[in-house]
Amino acid sequence: QVQLQESGPGLVKPSETLSLTCTVSGGSISSYYWSWIRQPAGKGLEWIGRIYTSGSTNYNPSLKSRVTMSVDTSKNQFSLKLSSVTAADTAVYYCARMGAAFDIWGQGTMVTVSS
């Protein structure tokens, strides 16, 4: 079955760019929307944005100026870049497949913003 795995640095310095990759295994990345969602410790879920396999994107307006998503279908991967990070961006970051709902999730990766 399809599985997702996030990867990337667990520690990012303030003002720098957070970069994460989600690898899709057990199935093709094609013909789906793929999302990034984050969750600060003890808080709720926040949708960051989504990308279609064509490269078309939609971002949460609250983060739009700092977010860039990309997809590499040859590697079955999609990626997130979040620029100018602050402590408020410290969270567990999840990648998820977005069909009728977020039906498949990665295990999540903790990213801490600290100097």
Partner 1 sequence: QSALTQPASVSGSPGQSITISCTGTSSDVGGYNYVSWYQQHPGKAPKLMIYDVSNRPSGVSNRFSGSKSGNTASLTISGLQAEDEADYYCSSYTSSSTQAVFGGGTKLTVL
Under the rule (CB under 8 A), what is the footprint of partner 1? Answer: 35, 44-47, 50, 58, 60-61, 94, 98, 100-103, 105-108
Q: Are 68 and 3 spatial neighbours (Cβ–Cβ below 8 Å)?
A: no
CB of 100 to partner 1, least distance (A): 5
Of the pair 88, 101, the CB lying nearest partner 1 is at: 101
Q: Are 22 and 93 spatial neighbours (Cβ–Cβ below 8 Å)?
A: no
Of the pair 9, 99, the CB lying nearest partner 1 is at: 99
CB of 108 to partner 1, least distance (A): 5
Of the pair 60, 68, the CB lying nearest partner 1 is at: 60
Length of the chain: 115
CB of 16 to partner 1, least distance (A): 26
Residue 93, Cβ neighbours under 10 Å: how many?
A: 22
Torsions phi, psi for 43 (to 5 deg): -120, -175
CB of 22 to partner 1, least distance (A): 12
Rg (CA), the chain: 13
